[in-house]
């Protein structure tokens, strides 16, 4: 690429990077040049898409499944970028993949969940990216471990990469039946709190594993102030070579995006700000009362601990705990609270009560 063209490309990438919401779409896998080009042209025609994504190297759980066309697809990406003007991005997992993609002027990279989970792989990518000015999107690790996600961000940032974004694609969870990868929103919210200056993108395709829940999950993410979306699209999703159930046609992407209510974190008027502050002050007062009640509850728990110690009674009383849960369950609906929320809330309180009793009973 000539120097002038390179400068224009950099300006284009900067403009794309700063766009909100940032819409990323494309096939799970680049299967053939015709399939990739056809999908890219249809996505460009929607006027909705900012970045074209396509998987070339596909890490699959078990052998025998389609594992991508590899470096052979890089010239296809070059061609569709020339045809559409859209920046292109691929997933990279090794230094060799980074080198090959850079030689073909790939504009952006994403790091997949199976790579984020391995610090050795992340460090290899970080070393390969030193001195390279390219946006890097980091997906959450496949297992629910924020430390791995944080470590990946830190390693890539240490390599000098300034444009880093986070992609929430859900976590593998045993027993989960509703989602392909459970969103575990609380973990994503905590990551967003820790890195509030980084763009946060939702990948509903991998969370849902199907087409039917894409809008629901995307809207929920937007309501939590996610700043973009990555959705897999394909000209013929039913016959896609990988992840067919979760891909949608470009026309369906338009319909989905048109139904999303794009909310903003900004409070645009003094009146709104004042009214929100009134609500927040009420919440603050209630929070103070909750803390005072919790402190009183723990004080009583310590008294119970002393009594149990004096009479050689175990801390855990299973029948009593079941009795508490049953009583709370009966009150939930009357109070407009979900049973699952109350159960989780009081499980934490119960564990803290056990901790206080243990300190009393085993105090030296």
Please give the pLDDT value at position 364: 54
Looking at the fold, whether 197 and 291 belong to one and the same domain comes out as: no
Given its phi and psi angles, is residue 231 left (phi above 0), alpha (psi -120 to 50 degrees) or beta? beta
Global pTM value: 0.86
Is the predicted pLDDT of residue 265 greater than 90, yes or no? Answer: no
Looking at the fold, whether 239 and 296 belong to one and the same domain comes out as: no
Mean pLDDT of 119-143: 97
Strands of the chain (E only): list them.
22-26, 51-53, 88-91, 108-111, 136-139, 164-168, 200-202, 228-232
CA distance to 58, 95, 242, per residue, from 61 (Å)? 10, 21, 12
In a domain, 90, yes or no: yes
In a domain, 290, yes or no: yes
Looking at the fold, whether 98 and 210 belong to one and the same domain comes out as: yes
CATH number at residue 356: 1.20.59.10
**Cβ atoms 35, 71 nearer than 8 A:** no
**Cβ atoms 28, 243 nearer than 8 A:** yes
- Model pLDDT for residues 282-320, shown as the tens digit of each residue: 999 999 999 999 999 999 999 999 999 999 999 999 999
SS3 for 32? Answer: coil
Mean pLDDT of 156-162: 97
Mean pLDDT of 4-12: 60
Is the predicted pLDDT of residue 12 greater than 80, yes or no? Answer: no
Looking at the fold, whether 154 and 284 belong to one and the same domain comes out as: no
Looking at the fold, whether 165 and 72 belong to one and the same domain comes out as: yes
Sign of the C-alpha dihedral, residues 74, 80, 86, 91?
negative
CATH number at residue 167: 3.20.20.70
CA atoms of 153 and 170, how far apart (whole Å):
17
DSSP secondary structure, 287-320, as one string: HHHHHHHHHHHHHHHHHHHHHHHHTT--S--HHH
Share of the chain above pLDDT 90, in %: 86
Is the predicted pLDDT of residue 2 greater than 60, yes or no? Answer: no
Looking at the fold, whether 310 and 175 belong to one and the same domain comes out as: no
Looking at the fold, whether 64 and 164 belong to one and the same domain comes out as: yes
**Cβ atoms 164, 157 nearer than 8 A:** yes
The count of structural domains within the chain is: 2
Looking at the fold, whether 157 and 285 belong to one and the same domain comes out as: no
Looking at the fold, whether 56 and 187 belong to one and the same domain comes out as: yes
User: DSSP character for 132?
Assistant: -
Please give the pLDDT value at position 3: 45
**Cβ atoms 128, 102 nearer than 8 A:** no
Q: Which range marks the domain in which residue 329 is found?
A: 270-361
In a domain, 265, yes or no: no
In a domain, 110, yes or no: yes
Give burial (CB, 10 Å; 0-12/13-18/19+) of 19.
Answer: middle
Mean pLDDT of 121-133: 96
Share of the chain above pLDDT 70, in %: 97
């Amino acid at each position: 690429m000539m120097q002038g063209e390179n400068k224009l490309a950099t300006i284009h990438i900067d403009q794309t990077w700063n766009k909100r919401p940032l819409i990323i779409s494309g096939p799970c896998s680049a299967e053939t040049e015709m399939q990739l080009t056809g999908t890219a042209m249809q996505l460009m025609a929607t006027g909705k898409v900012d970045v074209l994504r396509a998987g070339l190297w596909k890490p699959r759980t078990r052998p025998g499944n389609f594992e991508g066309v590899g470096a052979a697809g890089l010239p296809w990406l070059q061609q569709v970028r020339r045809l559409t003007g859209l920046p292109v991005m691929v997933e990279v997992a090794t230094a060799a993949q980074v080198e090959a993609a850079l030689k073909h002027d790939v504009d952006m990279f994403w790091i997949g969940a199976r790579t984020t989970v391995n610090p050795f792989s992340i460090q290899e990518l970080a070393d390969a990216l030193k001195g390279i000015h390219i946006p890097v999107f980091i997906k959450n690790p496949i297992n629910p471990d924020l430390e791995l996600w944080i470590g990946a961000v830190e390693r890539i940032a240490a390599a000098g990469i300034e444009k880093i974004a986070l992609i929430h694609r859900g976590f593998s969870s045993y027993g989960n039946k509703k989602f392909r990868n459970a969103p575990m929103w609380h973990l994503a919210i905590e990551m967003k709190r820790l890195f509030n200056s980084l763009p946060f993108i939702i990948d509903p395709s991998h969370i849902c594993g199907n087409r039917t829940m894409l809008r629901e999950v995307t809207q929920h993410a937007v309501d939590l102030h996610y700043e973009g979306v990555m959705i897999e699209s394909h000209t013929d999703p039913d016959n896609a070579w990988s992840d067919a159930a979760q891909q949608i046609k470009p026309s369906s992407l338009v319909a989905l995006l048109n139904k999303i209510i794009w909310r903003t974190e900004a409070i645009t008027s003094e009146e709104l700000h004042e009214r929100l502050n009134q609500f927040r002050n009420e919440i603050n007062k209630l929070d103070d009362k909750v803390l005072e009640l919790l402190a009183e509850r723990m004080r009583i728990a310590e008294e119970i601990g002393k009594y149990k110690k004096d009479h050689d009674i175990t801390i855990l009383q299973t029948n009593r705990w079941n009795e508490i849960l049953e009583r709370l369950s009966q009150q939930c609906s009357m109070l407009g609270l979900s049973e699952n929320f109350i159960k989780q809330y009081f499980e934490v309180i119960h564990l803290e009560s056990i901790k206080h009793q243990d300190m009393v009973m085993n105090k030296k």
